Amino acid sequence: MTNGISPGAQGRSEGERVVVAAIGGEESAFASISERHRRELQVHCYRMMGSLQDAEDAVQEAFLRAWRSRESFTYRGPSSFRAWLYRVATNACLDVLQRKPRKLFPWQPGSAGDGPRGSLLPPDRDLAWLQPYPDELLEAIAPDEERPDAQVVARETIELAFIVAIQLLSPTQRAVLILRDVLGWSAKETAALLDTTVAAANSALQRARATLKQHLPERRVEWAAPSEPTADEVALVRRYMEAHERGDFAAMAELLHEDARLTMPPTPSWFDGRDAIAALFASWLDPQSPGYVGEVRRVPVGANGQPGSAGYLRRPGDSAYRPLGLEFLRIENGKVAELTMFVSTDPLPGLRAPRDPLMRATPGFHIRAVTIGPGRRARPRREANGAMRSSSSGTARSSSSA
């Protein structure tokens, strides 16, 4: 036996032959079997860290680590290579989180509270870890013939409310909760992946569940079946966008819950209550306001399984609409409960949106860039095949353990 696989070619399945070739050093075989799992691993790392860019970097790092430590892999069945990649990717995430802990937003329990409610503040680089995850990328994760064990992404486990709340957990608790409650791994499998005991893994899971129960909307605690935004939700978003465009802030306020919250990453700014939110938008978009910034147009987009829009601003005296940012809504009981506005002109990798709101999004056009938030920038470009190309450099780091 070699790495758990019979050395004889006879009797091997096609999957076993690819694994044998991969761990034997055949780069094309290793790339083939690893790439099947890239997108689901990216979602896993995104849940761990909240950043699409950091998730892609972690997956690239995991593939490098896996390649270098491939001889340590032991074949235990058709799903064992996938499980091994999850182990390597999880450890890559834990290493990042140990070096760069996530700073909490000021409205979260335990934060330093340096963002007073109702104040407009500049971007904070330490809060740029939160990025939306485009729905177009989620569509590529559903199980198929090559990935029968891939997970359909449940809406409640990718929503921004979940991604923000899960950062309240320690990195290890976060990993345990994702593996157990989101991916459905057993306690034994989870403990083995994290090199801990079953009792320790179960204890971490109970603490993680208790924390999330306190800080997530009630229906988000139990993971529901995957679902798309309903027709009513889509119609609500359309009315919200139209109210913005015509400057009808009373109509916009009617679409919000009384205790709705607006957050504006990567700034520490936050506003509670529909009156405060409507007043903020009126201060920007009412031509009679001293703070008037110009006309806004919105184009529907989706990320994290949530409906939203890309905003474009035409300033007074300007002839063109220019990217303003992205806004995503969490809808509860027919009204908007939470608005997350990503304040940036940087486009988002993989998000279908026109460069101008007066243009239609055309097939094969994806916006490509490195990040939403202060710092790293890139220009949009058209990809010939419509696919998102990774902008991460994939810089190698040595590691004693995968």
Residue type, 355: R
**Domains: count for the chain:** 3
pLDDT, tens only, 323-341? 888 999 999 999 999 999 9
- Edge-first strand order for the sheet with 270-272 is 270-272, 256-263, 335-343, 322-332, 306-314, 295-303
Domain identity same for 59 and 197: no
Contacts 24+ apart (CB under 8 A), 205-208: 205/173, 205/176, 205/177, 205/180, 205/181, 207/169, 207/173, 208/169, 208/173, 208/174, 208/176, 208/177
Q: How many CA atoms lie within 13 A of 346 on its CB side?
A: 21
pTM: 0.81
Domain identity same for 193 and 273: no
Q: Name the residue with tokens 């064992």.
A: 80
Residue type, 397: R
Domain identity same for 184 and 317: no
In a domain, 73, yes or no: yes
- Closest among 368, 359, 360 to 386, alpha carbons compared: 368
Give the mean pLDDT of 195-223: 82
In a domain, 216, yes or no: yes
Domain identity same for 363 and 380: yes
State both tokens at 105.
């937003």
Q: What is the pLDDT of residue 37?
A: 92
Give yes or no for residue 365 having a pLDDT over 60.
no
Give the mean pLDDT of 273-288: 94
Q: What is the pLDDT of residue 368?
A: 27
In a domain, 4, yes or no: no
Confidence of residue 270 (pLDDT cuts 50, 70, 90): very high
In a domain, 120, yes or no: no
Domain identity same for 207 and 279: no
Confidence of residue 345 (pLDDT cuts 50, 70, 90): low
Domain identity same for 250 and 330: yes
In a domain, 121, yes or no: no
Q: Name the residue with tokens 């608005």.
A: 339
Q: Which domain holds residue 186?
A: 154-225
Q: What is the pLDDT of residue 156?
A: 78
Q: What is the pLDDT of residue 355?
A: 56
Round the CA-based radius of gyration of the chain to a whole number and report it: 22
Q: How many CB atoms lie within 10 A of CB 333?
A: 7
The DSSP string of 17-76 is: HHHHHHHTT-HHHHHHHHHTTHHHHHHHHHHHHS-HHHHHHHHHHHHHHHHHTGGG----
Q: What is the pLDDT of residue 379?
A: 30
Q: What is the pLDDT of residue 373?
A: 32
Specify the DSSP class assigned to residue 364. Answer: T
Domain identity same for 40 and 72: yes
Q: How many CB atoms lie within 10 A of CB 35?
A: 11
The backbone torsions φ and ψ at residue 186, rounded to the nearest 5 degrees and listed phi first, read -80, 165
- CATH number, domain of 86, equals 1.10.1740.10
Give yes or no for residue 319 having a pLDDT over 70.
yes
Q: What is the mean pLDDT of the chain?
A: 80
In a domain, 64, yes or no: yes
Domain identity same for 242 and 271: yes
Q: What is the pLDDT of residue 381?
A: 31
Domain identity same for 159 and 218: yes
